[in-house]
Structure 1
Amino acid sequence: MTGYSRRNFLRSAALIGAATALPHSLQAFHKVGANDRINVAAIGINGMGWSDLTAMLKNPGVQVVALCDVDQNVLNKRVAELAAQGIKVQAYTDYRKLLENKDIDAVIIGTPDHWHCLQMVDACAAGKAVYVEKPIGNSIRECRIMEAAQQKYGSVVQVGQWQRSQQHFADAIAFVHSGKLGQIRLVKAWAYMGWMKSIPKVPDGTAPQGVDYTTWLGPAESRPFNNNRFHFNFRWYWDYAGGLMTDWGVHLLDYALYGMKAKYPKSIMASGGKFAYPDDAAETPDTLTTVYEFEGFNLQWEHATGIDNGPYGRKHGIAFIGNNGTLVMDRNGWEVIPEGDKMQAVALQPKVDDGLFLHTKNFIEVIKSKRLEDLHAPIQTGALVAVNAQMGNIAYKTGKKIYWDADKDRFTDKASNKFLKATYHNGYKLPIIS
């Protein structure tokens, strides 16, 4: 485990809630051989869940057998799209019923963040391989529970951080690790989202016909239906997600940490707010600067909505700023900008592949080989960056510089530690992993 003792790991997972494990009879694994067909199902199919499934179906020997969504309108649409391709699937509105299907080898979890923990734990207990969207959890404790569940069941779990499967990112990190940049004292990661405009306030209303809103809320606080909180825009409400800090932050902070071979910071501080759209409907900050203090370097995160002109002329990216030069990379490629004449420039090295497809290919290959060490983004990788992103949000919420005790897996002050745990509602309980 990365910077985290097994004793603390299992202890923290067991501190919270009551078990939501599936019946013991469902915990037998469906055996998959190297040449077998892989039967896949998807839970949450409106956005990334559907994109993940579409990419996964490009892999030979993979077939979709079931879909699940609490929005019957979305479910009917996706079933019809598959039927038009000659693919017939079973349709579910209750993911637990889907997990009872012993013909399913792997599930994609593309639901809102606040559902990821429960569904991943239940899927592992049911003997399924799991492709879970990022960020893996909506709290630090959920992340720990998800790690513990994967370890207990030995499940193949791939996190949807698909940049981990792109060649140009791997090449860029190899250059960072070569030492050619010299001492790196500052790393920057940023997401400037010009496409994201103000979300006008709308009154509460009635959920659309066909939407099981009670189930959609799940463990989140019960509230009247509001269209702003539904489907894509759930990302901007604390009940369900963590804003851009967790949505894009996990992609970009992941490579910042990877490049620096770093785990958890000594301290975190964050400042920002709703500066662009102070009166709109979103809760999470539209402008944020977060500084993580590590041994020997600082990592700085920035995000801003409504504007595209980020550092180095890029809407998003990661910059490793060394004494000899700076390596800048994003989803389009990477380059090196020299510091004077201390090193040679490296012209833009463009992307050469489809990261999402390759990520699903890696997942399928590991299901067949059972070599968990070959996963490009295992649950431990997803947890490391999701916890760091949550730390940034917690520093923002407390409004002060906070300190992390890696041995105790908690902050050094009570005000920050109250944000470690997700509070579940409506009769839902966090799983106990023992």
Structure 2
Amino acid sequence: MSASKKITRRNFIQGVAFTGAAAVFSPSAHRAFGYESPNDRPVFATIGLRNQGWAITSKSFKFADFAALADVDANVLGANVEKTEKKQGKKPDAYKDYRKVLDRKDIDAVMIATPDHWHTKIAVEAMYAGKDVYCEKPLTLTIDEGKLIEKVVKETGRVFQVGTMQRSESGQRFLQAIALIRDGRIGTVKKVTCGINGMEGSPVIPVASVPEELDYEFWLGPAPKVDYRALPEMREGYGGGVPLYSNCHYSFRNWHEYSGGKLTDWGAHHVDIACWALGASDTGPSKVSPVEYKLPVEYKDGFPTVNDQYNAATEFKIKVDMPNDVEMIITSEGDNGILFEGTEGRFFVNRGKIVGAPVEALKDNPLPEDAIEKVYGGKVSANHTANFIEAMNSRKQPISDVWSHNRMLEICHLSNISMRLGRDLKWDPKKREIIDDAQANSFLSRENRKGYEINM
């Protein structure tokens, strides 16, 4: 990459930061900034393109040019290369192996939207390759992976945005909720309930032939080697149709081998906002208790005894002892969203509404004009990528940094461990380990399959 290209990309990033996100979103944004040439904009690549991978890519064309895309499914890769070419007028290079993306010196940042079990390996290797990183939530498969990512971010100085968009582009109501709490509108917070919905179990899923377009061995990657399983019924509308039940596309979140069920899916959104509101983004709980829960298969010593059905919890009620005697409940029951209860009131917030007496009272007693900006730490970016690029310019971490994300995700991971083992877990938030429980602590990490170790 020439020195002139480096300068023009830097100027683009500064344009976003200094002009403000609002200007970037207008239809004439590129003309206003004078960035008609691809050389004037930062160069991105996306690794993992199904569903959310395309979603974050398509939202980023305003701010960056995509030089490369990578996916282990040839059909998904080809379709997204075609869509990207139509969007930006230039065809990106296509790779099955993400390492070829990391070898490219012209790529400034990567966006990672693979299944969760791949996140840490790709993210760490990307940072060591000199790339800034945007990675989808949940960031990690285990708690120790989070510690490793923090170490590498600090060591390399790379900018790292986690894709928890409730902190910005889908988060205006959530920012208002935090502002209400910080302004004392419900007094002292005593309880917060995160409704994240449950999930259905699956029938027995038979071994099936691997689709011709899919490199299933590479899809498994760091995870244990197992047969591909799928039922013939198709789920349309998800990247062109995938099996209704499988241990791969779409359904990977329902298997502990690749993800953490609803606890790390929706939990990564609502528990994050709850911790942010409580001022607990740099600490953790003291105890996690599985009050009620249902696992879809039998477990022994924390591991499922069968491998032909979904194994993540389908129903649950988890009690979490948070700092300052706050009780957090994570439940599959009720409305999806967050209920805050304090000594002087309560209110409920989700992506569609914010309701309750403290909200109604804003008509006569509005929040201070700068309340939302104080929560966000400055002018609110209506696009998560814009915030990422602002951070790339300042070399400061963005609104969804790895440290706050990992602290809240520890609660979700511990909740899953507590259900798998069927007991309460006492947590040391300073040492970041489970107290007096060697077996439970063994679940804080997971060894990558041979040949898929993290290259450091």
TM-score if structure 2 supplies the norm length? 0.78
**1:366 to partner: Cα distance:** 1.9
Q: Does 1:360 align with 2:378?
A: no
Correspondent of 2:448 among 393, 401, 424: 424
| CA distance in structure 2 between the partners assigned to 1:238 and 1:321 by the alignment | 32
**Structure 2 equivalent of residue 16 of structure 1:** none
After superposition, where does 1:21-420 map in structure 2 within 5 Å? Answer: 32-35=9-12, 36-59=40-63, 62-85=64-87, 86-165=89-168, 166-192=171-197, 197-227=200-230, 228-262=246-280, 263-274=283-294, 281-294=309-322, 295-303=324-332, 310=334, 314=335, 316-337=336-357, 345=361, 358-367=383-392, 369-373=393-397, 375-412=398-435, 413-420=437-444
1:275 Cα deviation after fit: 7.0
- Deviating more after overlay: 176-185 vs 240-249: 176-185
How big is the shift at 1:201?
Answer: 2.8
Higher RCO by CA contacts (8 Å cutoff, separation 6 or greater): 1
d(CA) in 2 for partners of 1:83, 1:365: 25
Distance (Å, rounded) in 1 between the aligned partners of 2:254 and 2:200: 12
| Alignment RMSD | 2.5
Tell me, yes or no, if the aligned pair for 2:123 and 2:133 is still in contact at 8 Å. Answer: yes
The answer for unaligned runs of 5 or more in structure 2 is 1-5, 13-39, 231-245, 299-305, 367-379
For 2:56 and 2:271, the matched residues in 1 are separated by 21
Deviation at 1:73, TM superposition (A): 1.2
Change (3 A) 1:410 1:33: same
Q: Do the aligned partners of 1:335 and 1:346 also contact (CA within 8 Å) in 2?
A: no
Would the aligned equivalents of 1:69 and 1:92 in 2 still touch at CA under 8 Å? yes
Work out the CA distance in 2 between the residues paired with 1:371 and 1:356: 17
Change (3 A) 1:344 1:370: closer
Structure 2 residue matching 1:301: 3-state secondary structure: strand
Task: Answer with 386-395 or 75-84: which moved more.
Answer: 75-84
The separation in 2 between residues aligned to 1:52 and 1:357, in whole angstroms, is 13
**Mean alpha-carbon deviation: is it higher for 381-390 or for 196-205?**
196-205
Q: Does the CA contact (< 8 Å) of 1:56 and 1:357 recur in 2?
A: no
Counterpart code for 2:128: A
Change in Cα spacing, 1:198 to 1:239, as seen in structure 2 (3 Å) is closer
Instruction: Determine if contact 1:52/1:356 at 8 Å carries over to the other structure.
Output: no
Distance 1:322 1:273 in 2: 27
Asked whether the 8 Å contact 1:277–1:286 carries over to 2, the reply is: no
Moved more, 264-273 or 252-261: 264-273
The aligned amino acid for 2:438 is K
Q: Secondary structure of the equivalent of 2:332?
A: strand
Contact 2:173 2:350 in 1 (8 A): no
Does the 8 Å CA contact 1:221/1:426 hold for their aligned counterparts?
A: no
Tell me if the contact between 1:222 and 1:426 (Cα under 8 Å) persists in the aligned partners.
Answer: no
Q: Distance in 1 between matches of 2:450 and 2:208?
A: 20
What letter is aligned with 1:323? T
Letter in 2 for 1:138: L
Q: CA deviation at 1:431?
A: 5.8
Q: Distance in 1 between matches of 2:360 and 2:195?
A: 25
Kept after mapping to 1: 8 A contact 2:192/2:328: yes
- 1:403 match: secondary structure: strand
Check conservation: 1:68, 1:94, Cα contact below 8 A.
yes
Counterpart of 2:449, as a letter, is: H
Asked whether the equivalents of residues 73 and 210 of structure 1 are also in contact (C-alpha less than 8 Å), the reply is: yes
Distance in 1, matches of 2:382 and 2:262, equals 24
Conserved 8 A contact 1:107-1:130 = yes
Identical aligned residues as a percent: 33
Deviates more, 1:256-265 or 1:78-87: 78-87
Aligned partner of 2:255: which letter? Y
CA distance in 2, matches of 1:293, 1:103: 47
Judge conservation of contact 1:156–1:370 (CA < 8 Å) in 2: no
Deviation at 1:242, TM superposition (A): 0.3
- Counterparts in 2 of 1:402 and 1:197: CA distance versus 1, 3 Å: closer
- Looking at structure 2, the residues matched to 58 and 327 of structure 1 have their Cα atoms a distance apart, in angstroms, of 36
Which residue number corresponds to residue 25 of structure 1? none
Secondary structure of the structure 1 residue equivalent to 2:399: coil
Deviations for 1:371-394, whole angstroms, at most 9, x for unmatched residues?
414x11011122112212111111
Amino acid at match of 1:136: L
Closer/same/farther in 2, CA of residues 44 and 357 from structure 1, 3 Å limit: farther
Distance 2:454 2:329 in 1: 32
CA distance in 2, matches of 1:91, 1:334: 43
Q: Distance in 1 between matches of 2:167 and 2:219?
A: 30
Contact 2:296 2:312 in 1 (8 A): no
User: Which residue identity is paired with 2:184?
Assistant: G
**1:147-167 Cα deviation digits (max 9, x unpaired):** 111111111110000111133
CA separation of 1:431 and 1:411: change in aligned 2, threshold 3 A: farther
Paired residue total: 379
| Aligned counterparts of 1:124 and 1:177: Cα–Cα separation in 2 | 35
TM-score (norm 1): 0.82
State the distance in 2 between where 1:75 and 1:113 align: 19
- In 2 relative to 1, CA 298–159 (structure 1 residues): closer, same or farther, beyond 3 Å? same
